[in-house]
Structure 1
Amino acid sequence: MPPTSSTRRALVARNAEVMRDFMAHAVLFQDAVARSAGLNSTDLQTVGLLLSGGPATPGELAARTGLTAGGAITAVVDRLERAGFVSRSRDPDDRRRVLVTADADAIAAAVGPAYAGVTERWGAVLESLSNDELAFANDLLARAADVNRGEVERMRAR
């Protein structure tokens, strides 16, 4: 039996509350992780983008993060390089270009302990799900990430 329209409205409203709470606490958690490693949130997100997207020129990294090319991204890369989380090197295909590469081991050593608790607790949550529930959760989170990515791109285009 399909949910009544009032039930559906209530579920959609509850989803908005849950998502808002999740997003706020995810941002606060990431900030706490960054601080535990002596970084700020932007720096942590930048190394995360380098880990997931691979090495990048400063200009490409500025586009990934939404920072301005030049001063802002240079300051981030300088801080991350001083902390030992990234290195700069010449692009082997075009020696005029500089590539910024994340040091996954250094990053893991610095932030791994901060992620240990949430990894364990989230692992327990995932273990409690059936395969169908887990597949649904993966799909829902992937769709949420796509929505967020699209909205970031839309806002940056303005």
Structure 2
Amino acid sequence: MAEKSTRDREIERAGEVMREFMARAVLFQEAVAKWGGLNSTDLQCASLLMSQGPATPGELADRAGLTAGGGITTAIDRLERAGFVSRERDPNDRRRVIVTANAGAILERFGEVYGRVGARWNDYLETLSDEQIAFANELFSRAAELNRDEIERLRGQ
């Protein structure tokens, strides 16, 4: 059996590193949600509303991969009780409800943790060259794109 090249070993290691990163990211989000008094799905719904803007419950369910109806309604109810989202009638179609993140409340509750991690991450990024940062941005962007594609495939879209 031929010995693996350095490149082959590094590619194999890259797969291991990515699996570890993704597992730690999921566990981190679960820990943050629990620390903040939510479950991880609710925190992700709030995060999606902050990053992608207001949505109808059905749109939010699609973003989060939940079934429209009971599951998303329960998540929105919990987030609303916690003060992290609000529901308002769509001014253009009174039959529709729009869910909006209360960014101030979310940041007040979770900003401490994300701020601490962000500061540590920024300290590390300061040690990298512009080219290394550009490469890291491309790598994470591509990883997110591949994950999005696979999520859609798994959901049957």
- What range describes the TM-score normalised by the shorter chain of this pair? over 0.9
Note the C-alpha offset of 1:138. Answer: 0.6
Q: Which blocks of at least 5 consecutive residues in structure 2 are unaligned?
A: none
Note the C-alpha offset of 1:9. Answer: 1.2
**Counterpart in the other structure of 1:106:** 105
**Counterpart in the other structure of 2:42:** 43
Instruction: Give secondary structure in 1 for the equivalent of 2:95.
Output: strand
Distance in 1, matches of 2:77 and 2:20, equals 33
Q: Which blocks of at least 5 consecutive residues in structure 1 are unaligned?
A: none
**Counterpart in the other structure of 1:64:** 63
Note the C-alpha offset of 1:6. Answer: 1.6
Letter in structure 1 aligned against 2:94:
R
Note the C-alpha offset of 1:116. Answer: 2.6
**Counterpart in the other structure of 2:91:** 92
Note the C-alpha offset of 1:115. Answer: 1.6
Is contact 1:36-1:114 (8 Å) kept?
no
**Counterpart in the other structure of 2:23:** 24
Residues 4-30 of structure 1: CA deviation (Å, up to 9, x unaligned): x72221111100110011111111111
Letter in structure 2 aligned against 1:68:
T
Matched, 1:126 2:128: no
**Counterpart in the other structure of 1:156:** 155
Distance in 1, matches of 2:90 and 2:100, equals 11
Instruction: Give secondary structure in 1 for the equivalent of 2:94.
Output: strand
Matched, 1:15 2:34: no
**Counterpart in the other structure of 2:5:** 6
Matched, 1:52 2:77: no
Distance in 1, matches of 2:58 and 2:114, equals 29
Q: TM-score, normalised by structure 2?
A: 0.95
Distance in 2, matches of 1:10 and 1:118, equals 30
Instruction: Give secondary structure in 2 for the equivalent of 1:118.
Output: helix
Q: TM-score, normalised by structure 1?
A: 0.94
